[in-house]
Amino acid sequence: MSPLVKSKYPLLNPDVSLVGGLSNATQSNDPAFSNAQWFGYVTTDSAAGGVTAVANVVAVPITPGIVVTQVSLVSGNAAGTITNCNVQLFSGTSTPTALGTQSVNVTSTPFTQATPFTFTLGSAVTISQANAPYGYVYVSLGLTDSVAPSFASASTPVALGGVAPGTNAPVLAAKYTGGSSTQPATLVSPTLVAAAYLCWLT
Protein backbone atom coordinates (compact mmCIF):
# COMPACT_ATOMS: atom_id res chain seq x y z
CA MET A 1 0.00 0.00 0.00
CA SER A 2 1.33 3.46 -0.92
CA PRO A 3 1.99 6.04 1.79
CA LEU A 4 -0.78 8.62 2.14
CA VAL A 5 1.51 11.47 1.07
CA LYS A 6 2.57 9.59 -2.07
CA SER A 7 -1.12 9.23 -2.91
CA LYS A 8 -1.56 12.99 -2.35
CA TYR A 9 -3.62 12.66 0.84
CA PRO A 10 -2.73 14.82 3.87
CA LEU A 11 -1.47 13.02 6.96
CA LEU A 12 -3.57 15.26 9.19
CA ASN A 13 -7.19 16.32 8.73
CA PRO A 14 -7.19 20.06 7.86
CA ASP A 15 -10.50 20.53 9.69
CA VAL A 16 -8.82 19.39 12.89
CA SER A 17 -5.85 21.72 12.48
CA LEU A 18 -8.09 24.73 11.80
CA VAL A 19 -9.94 24.29 15.09
CA GLY A 20 -6.74 23.77 17.07
CA GLY A 21 -7.07 20.03 17.54
CA LEU A 22 -10.61 20.18 18.97
CA SER A 23 -11.74 16.64 19.74
CA ASN A 24 -14.57 14.74 21.36
CA ALA A 25 -15.02 15.58 25.04
CA THR A 26 -15.24 11.97 26.23
CA GLN A 27 -13.15 10.14 23.61
CA SER A 28 -10.18 12.29 22.59
CA ASN A 29 -9.25 10.20 19.56
CA ASP A 30 -12.64 11.01 17.98
CA PRO A 31 -12.84 14.34 16.15
CA ALA A 32 -15.30 17.16 16.67
CA PHE A 33 -18.15 16.97 14.16
CA SER A 34 -19.36 20.15 12.48
CA ASN A 35 -21.66 21.29 9.70
CA ALA A 36 -18.62 23.27 8.48
CA GLN A 37 -17.51 19.91 7.03
CA TRP A 38 -20.32 20.34 4.50
CA PHE A 39 -20.00 24.04 3.80
CA GLY A 40 -16.30 24.72 4.25
CA TYR A 41 -14.95 27.74 6.08
CA VAL A 42 -15.64 30.42 3.48
CA THR A 43 -18.26 31.93 5.73
CA THR A 44 -19.72 35.14 7.03
CA ASP A 45 -21.18 36.51 10.23
CA SER A 46 -24.93 36.16 10.13
CA ALA A 47 -27.84 36.55 12.51
CA ALA A 48 -28.91 33.06 11.42
CA GLY A 49 -29.70 31.28 14.65
CA GLY A 50 -30.35 34.56 16.39
CA VAL A 51 -34.08 34.67 15.73
CA THR A 52 -35.81 35.13 19.04
CA ALA A 53 -38.27 32.72 20.68
CA VAL A 54 -37.96 29.95 18.08
CA ALA A 55 -35.91 26.79 17.69
CA ASN A 56 -33.05 27.74 15.34
CA VAL A 57 -32.04 24.40 13.81
CA VAL A 58 -29.12 23.20 11.68
CA ALA A 59 -28.15 19.72 10.52
CA VAL A 60 -24.69 18.36 11.42
CA PRO A 61 -23.04 15.29 9.88
CA ILE A 62 -21.94 12.68 12.41
CA THR A 63 -20.97 9.04 12.79
CA PRO A 64 -22.88 6.43 14.86
CA GLY A 65 -21.02 5.45 18.01
CA ILE A 66 -19.98 8.99 18.91
CA VAL A 67 -21.00 10.27 22.35
CA VAL A 68 -21.91 13.97 22.31
CA THR A 69 -21.83 16.04 25.49
CA GLN A 70 -21.11 19.56 24.20
CA VAL A 71 -22.11 21.97 21.44
CA SER A 72 -19.92 24.98 20.58
CA LEU A 73 -20.66 28.10 18.53
CA VAL A 74 -18.56 31.15 17.66
CA SER A 75 -20.14 34.60 17.77
CA GLY A 76 -19.31 37.39 15.35
CA ASN A 77 -20.66 39.99 17.73
CA ALA A 78 -22.01 40.08 21.24
CA ALA A 79 -25.79 40.01 21.55
CA GLY A 80 -28.12 42.38 23.28
CA THR A 81 -29.85 41.25 26.44
CA ILE A 82 -30.46 37.49 26.40
CA THR A 83 -33.04 36.09 28.80
CA ASN A 84 -33.05 32.50 27.46
CA CYS A 85 -30.31 30.57 25.67
CA ASN A 86 -29.97 26.79 25.35
CA VAL A 87 -29.26 23.96 22.91
CA GLN A 88 -30.81 20.55 22.27
CA LEU A 89 -29.91 17.67 19.96
CA PHE A 90 -32.60 16.09 17.76
CA SER A 91 -32.63 12.90 15.73
CA GLY A 92 -31.85 13.04 12.01
CA THR A 93 -35.17 11.46 11.08
CA SER A 94 -38.25 12.58 9.17
CA THR A 95 -39.79 13.85 12.43
CA PRO A 96 -36.80 15.00 14.49
CA THR A 97 -37.21 14.01 18.14
CA ALA A 98 -35.30 15.41 21.12
CA LEU A 99 -32.29 13.32 22.16
CA GLY A 100 -31.35 13.35 25.84
CA THR A 101 -32.02 16.63 27.64
CA GLN A 102 -31.27 20.20 26.68
CA SER A 103 -28.44 22.26 28.13
CA VAL A 104 -28.95 24.49 31.14
CA ASN A 105 -30.95 27.56 30.15
CA VAL A 106 -28.55 30.52 30.31
CA THR A 107 -30.26 33.71 31.45
CA SER A 108 -27.40 36.11 30.84
CA THR A 109 -25.61 37.02 27.62
CA PRO A 110 -23.15 34.19 26.92
CA PHE A 111 -21.67 35.44 23.66
CA THR A 112 -18.50 37.51 23.26
CA GLN A 113 -17.18 38.60 19.88
CA ALA A 114 -14.88 36.05 18.22
CA THR A 115 -14.91 33.78 21.27
CA PRO A 116 -16.24 30.22 21.26
CA PHE A 117 -19.06 29.45 23.69
CA THR A 118 -19.65 25.84 24.68
CA PHE A 119 -22.97 24.50 25.93
CA THR A 120 -22.95 21.28 27.97
CA LEU A 121 -25.97 19.10 27.26
CA GLY A 122 -28.14 18.04 30.17
CA SER A 123 -27.28 14.42 29.40
CA ALA A 124 -24.78 12.74 27.09
CA VAL A 125 -26.20 11.53 23.77
CA THR A 126 -24.88 8.41 22.05
CA ILE A 127 -25.29 8.68 18.30
CA SER A 128 -26.75 5.49 16.85
CA GLN A 129 -28.02 4.10 13.57
CA ALA A 130 -31.53 4.63 14.93
CA ASN A 131 -31.19 8.33 15.75
CA ALA A 132 -28.87 9.22 12.86
CA PRO A 133 -29.88 6.76 10.11
CA TYR A 134 -28.63 8.99 7.29
CA GLY A 135 -25.46 10.26 8.95
CA TYR A 136 -26.64 13.49 10.55
CA VAL A 137 -28.46 14.90 13.57
CA TYR A 138 -30.01 18.29 14.22
CA VAL A 139 -28.85 20.96 16.67
CA SER A 140 -31.39 23.47 17.94
CA LEU A 141 -30.44 26.80 19.49
CA GLY A 142 -33.18 28.39 21.57
CA LEU A 143 -32.92 32.12 22.23
CA THR A 144 -34.92 34.95 23.70
CA ASP A 145 -33.00 38.15 23.04
CA SER A 146 -33.37 41.88 22.56
CA VAL A 147 -30.72 42.06 19.81
CA ALA A 148 -29.75 38.92 17.91
CA PRO A 149 -26.10 37.87 18.04
CA SER A 150 -24.39 36.94 14.81
CA PHE A 151 -22.60 33.64 14.35
CA ALA A 152 -20.03 32.21 11.98
CA SER A 153 -22.39 31.00 9.28
CA ALA A 154 -22.59 29.45 5.84
CA SER A 155 -25.05 30.22 3.07
CA THR A 156 -27.81 27.70 2.38
CA PRO A 157 -28.74 28.72 -1.17
CA VAL A 158 -32.31 29.50 -2.09
CA ALA A 159 -31.78 27.24 -5.12
CA LEU A 160 -31.63 24.29 -2.73
CA GLY A 161 -34.55 25.57 -0.69
CA GLY A 162 -32.40 24.86 2.34
CA VAL A 163 -32.57 21.16 1.49
CA ALA A 164 -30.05 19.13 -0.52
CA PRO A 165 -31.30 16.75 -3.25
CA GLY A 166 -32.36 13.28 -2.16
CA THR A 167 -35.28 11.82 -0.27
CA ASN A 168 -33.46 11.54 3.06
CA ALA A 169 -31.31 14.68 2.78
CA PRO A 170 -31.31 16.99 5.79
CA VAL A 171 -33.01 20.34 6.16
CA LEU A 172 -29.79 22.37 6.27
CA ALA A 173 -31.13 25.31 8.28
CA ALA A 174 -34.61 26.22 9.49
CA LYS A 175 -36.57 27.69 12.35
CA TYR A 176 -39.31 25.83 14.18
CA THR A 177 -41.93 26.79 16.75
CA GLY A 178 -40.62 26.55 20.31
CA GLY A 179 -37.10 26.88 21.61
CA SER A 180 -37.35 29.73 24.07
CA SER A 181 -36.65 28.62 27.65
CA THR A 182 -37.64 25.02 26.81
CA GLN A 183 -37.00 23.18 23.57
CA PRO A 184 -39.88 21.35 21.83
CA ALA A 185 -40.11 17.55 22.02
CA THR A 186 -40.26 17.25 18.22
CA LEU A 187 -39.56 19.55 15.28
CA VAL A 188 -42.43 20.04 12.84
CA SER A 189 -43.25 22.50 10.03
CA PRO A 190 -39.89 24.13 9.32
CA THR A 191 -39.48 27.63 7.95
CA LEU A 192 -36.32 27.57 5.85
CA VAL A 193 -33.61 30.17 6.42
CA ALA A 194 -30.84 31.33 4.10
CA ALA A 195 -27.85 30.75 6.37
CA ALA A 196 -26.77 28.02 8.78
CA TYR A 197 -24.78 28.91 11.89
CA LEU A 198 -21.71 26.71 12.25
CA CYS A 199 -21.43 24.52 15.33
CA TRP A 200 -19.17 21.80 16.67
CA LEU A 201 -20.30 18.68 18.52
CA THR A 202 -17.84 17.19 21.02
Q: Quote the domain boundaries for residue 104.
A: 19-201
Q: How confident is the model at residue 9 (pLDDT cuts 50, 70, 90)?
A: low
Residue 12 within any structural domain of the chain:
no
Mean pLDDT in residue range 47-53: 72
What predicted TM-score, i.e. pTM, was given to this entire model? Answer: 0.90
Q: Nearest to residue 86, comparing CAs of 24, 20, 142?
A: 142
Please enumerate in sequence order all residues whose Cβ is within 8 A of that of 139, keeping only pairs 6 or more positions apart, or say none: 57, 58, 59, 60, 71, 87, 88, 89, 90, 199, 201
Greater confidence (78 vs 106) lies with: 106
pLDDT band at 202 (very low <50, low <70, confident <90, very high): very high
Model pLDDT, residue 115? 83
Average pLDDT over residues 47-57: 79
At position 85, the amino acid (one-letter code) is C
Residue 13 in any domain: the answer is: no
**Who has greater pLDDT, 189 or 108?**
189
Residue 174 scores a pLDDT above 80? yes
**Predicted confidence (pLDDT) at residue 136 exceeds the cutoff of 70:** yes
| Contact indicator for 84, 181 with CB cutoff of 8 Å | yes
Residue 11 inside a domain? The answer is: no
Q: Which of the four pLDDT bands, split at 50, 70 and 90, describes residue 3? A: low
CA distance 79 to 8: 43
Number of domains in the chain: 1
Task: Tell me: pLDDT of 22 over 70.
Answer: yes
> 56-92 pLDDT, tens per residue?
999 999 999 999 999 999 888 777 788 889 999 999 9
Is 7 domain-assigned? no
Q: What is the mean pLDDT of the chain?
A: 86
63, part of any domain: yes
Phi–psi pair at 93, nearest 5 degrees: -120, 175
Q: What is the pLDDT averaged over residues 107-120?
A: 85
Tell whether 157 is covered by a domain: yes
Residue 27's domain is classified under what CATH number? 2.60.120
